Amino acid sequence: MNSSWVIGVDYGTDSVRSIIVDVHNGNEIASAVFYYPRWKDGLYCNAAQSRFRQHPLDYVEGLETTIRQCLQQAGPGAAANIKAISVDTTGSTPVAVDETGTPLALTPAFHDNPNAMFVLWKDHTALKEAAAINATAATFEENYLRFVGGIYSSEWFWAKLLHILRVDETVRNATHSWVEHCDWIPFLLSGGKHISQLKRGVCSAGHKALFAEEFGGLPPDAFFSAIDPLLQGFTQKLFTKTYTSGEAAGHLCPEWAERLGLPTSVVIGIGAFDAHMGAVGGQIEPYHLSKVMGTSTCDMLVAPMEEMKHKLVKGICGQVPGSVIPGMMGMEAGQSAFGDAYAWFSNVLAWPLQHLLPSSSLIDAETAAKLAQETSGRMITELAKQAAQIPPEEHSELGIDWLNGRRTPDADQSLKGTLTGLNLATDAPRIFRTVAESTCFGAKAIVERFEREGVPVKGLIGIGGVAKKSAFIMQMMADVMNMPIRIHRSEQTCALGAAMFAATAAGLFNRVEDAMEAMGQGFEVTYHPDAQRAGIYENRYQKYKALGAFTAAITID
């Protein structure tokens, strides 16, 4: 065989997926998925405390398993065709590491300590730390938060670091540096032996760690020391240089070449967050909002650098040169709960199946378990089918989508969700419809903020699980936004985007735009807005904003 193939690795919240892609046409040669076993068992997490941690072994085992399975699927001689590997991950999902760059949870002393593990993006244990960062920033003449929307989130790098340093002295004393998941995997694959060798991507550094050329890199130590003396001198343990995802982190090291069955000539690309690479896999265009819709949403928008001069978008998750496409301004927004909101309601309805059915005297335990699994598996599909039959009404039930706090606009993870307007005729499909509508309204609030700040949104691109699976929600999204939304053909846009960056890092394309053109799979369907429904939704959106203001006013910290 004489082919050029690359591997894209997509680390999601529940699983990691790897794909082998032909760089000449974007055809998927093989794919494999690995569900994190420790995460699946609920280890190291406490939802009541908003603590969500993931053990690095889940990541390492998944990396080896999926790539080996892909190579096996691709057939004999496949390894010789692989030119590069790039990865995307959730974020901000950082971890404490020692001097060798090893996550502390991979050392015997910290193997079962959640504070030594990766702090998942949706972990909100750092609310107080985020508040301290925001309060301190307000006292400085230099606005160090201006490139992250003016508000620092508990979901991000510095807040999570400070929280871990505050609550766990043993981890604090062992921490040599603090590293994002998307930066650690390339370091691992390329055989890094010291933290000084780890290359940080501009994506994670700019959107979550406050890195900016205007600050000469990270903000000065005086800023972090003012937040908490525990942060004094910590910038010296971090980085002064960043790289775009079109650049190489190195080559596959001998250890991992043997573990994966690949040659050491394989190039390892710089990593980035899933939504950023997903936007590329979904063939993002300037001023078109790329919506990665899964458990949460990440909304990406790119614009020419010269057109973004002197523009700062308040309340988003950052605007960083080169974080999506090198040479263009990358802007990020999103919602903390999207698919998670639907799963929450499904889990509420499934409570009797989980807690009452197992003790039924009418059926045996095995049948009860199978019945519960079958019913739970069909829940959201059937709810959506029934909810789609309910037309929008001016005065029907109304909801707020902040079940996991609010990411944008104006991050505040302490906020809560709301349901109102209920009556004795309100049934499960109506509540599900209200929850879905609230997530679409949350998406509209993001578009409204971009446009209010002088950045037009000319179109919508839908990618991710919800975009592919739910015609009901996508049609509602088009109606609420009153603009078409194109759904990308690829089932794995994030992994495909990683593959495009891998091809660029290996020099197979000069620009990631060239990789997008050659490897892009196009769009499979477009949802167009219904004018009548759009008018009703516009009126209801105004009520959504009023209810949101009321909800924020009564939220108890």
Look at residue 321 and tell me if it is in a domain.
no
For residues 384 and 505, state if they share a domain. no
Measuring CA to CA, how many Å separate 505 from each of 90, 162, 247, 251?
Answer: 21, 34, 5, 11
Residue 557 in tokens: 């910290």
Q: Is residue 541 part of a domain?
A: yes
Whether residues 278 and 379 share a domain: the answer is: no
What's the chain's Rg over C-alpha atoms? 23
- Mark whether 402 and 541 lie in a shared domain: yes
Give yes or no: residues 455 and 515 share one domain: no
Listing DSSP states for 152-219 in one string gives: --TTSHHHHHHHHHHH-HHHHHH-SEEEEHHHHHHHHHTT--SGGGPPEEHHHHHHHS--BGGGTBSP
Residues 255 and 382 in one domain: no
What CATH code is carried by the domain that includes residue 464? 3.30.420.40
142's CB contacts (< 8 A; 6+ apart) are: 215, 219
Query: Among all chains, which residue has been given the structure tokens 């209200």?
Result: 434
In a domain, 479, yes or no: yes
Are 511 and 543 part of one and the same domain? no
**What span, in angstroms and rounded, lies between the C-alpha atoms of 338 and 292?**
10
The tens-digit pLDDT sequence of the chain (557 residues) is 468 999 999 999 999 999 999 999 999 999 999 999 999 999 999 989 999 999 999 999 999 999 999 999 999 999 999 999 999 999 999 999 999 999 999 999 999 999 999 999 999 999 999 999 999 999 999 999 999 999 999 999 999 999 999 999 999 999 999 999 999 999 999 999 999 999 999 999 999 999 999 999 999 999 999 999 999 999 999 999 999 999 999 999 999 999 999 999 999 999 999 999 999 999 999 999 999 998 889 999 999 999 998 899 999 989 999 999 999 999 999 999 999 999 999 999 999 999 999 999 999 999 999 999 999 999 999 999 999 999 999 999 999 999 999 999 998 988 999 999 999 999 999 999 999 999 999 999 999 999 999 999 999 999 988 999 999 999 999 999 999 999 999 989 999 999 999 999 999 999 999 999 999 999 999 999 999 999 999 999 999 999 999 999 998 65
The answer as to whether 301 is a domain residue is no
429 lies in some domain: yes
Helix, strand and coil percent figures for the chain, each rounded to 5: 45, 20, 35
Query: b vs e for 362-380, b when ≥16 Cβ sit within 10 Å of the residue's Cβ?
Result: eeeeeebeeebeeeeeebb
Confirm if 205 and 242 have CB atoms less than 8 A apart: yes
User: According to the model, what pLDDT value does residue 447 have?
Assistant: 98
- Same domain for 100 and 186? yes
Same domain, 77 and 95: yes
Which helix H or strand E contains 40, and what residues bound it?
helix 37-40
Q: Which domain holds residue 539?
A: 339-489+524-554
Structure tokens at 225: 């020391």
Looking at residue 1, its pLDDT comes to 43
* Residues 477 and 395 reside in one and the same domain: yes
Number of domains into which the chain is organized: 2
Domain shared by 426 and 515, yes or no: no
- Return all residues near 75 (Cβ < 8 A) that are at least 6 apart: none
Q: Are residues 431 and 505 in the same domain?
A: no
Q: What angle do CA 209, 211, 217 make, to 5 degrees?
A: 140
Would you state the pLDDT for residue 557?
Answer: 57
In a domain, 305, yes or no: no
Q: Is the pTM here over 0.85, yes or no? A: yes
For helices 428-452 and 471-481, the axis angle rounded to 10 degrees is 40
The tokens 């059937």 sit on which residue?
382
Regarding whether 495 and 436 lie in a shared domain, the answer is no
Asked whether residue 267 is domain-assigned, the answer is yes
Residue 208 lies in a domain: yes
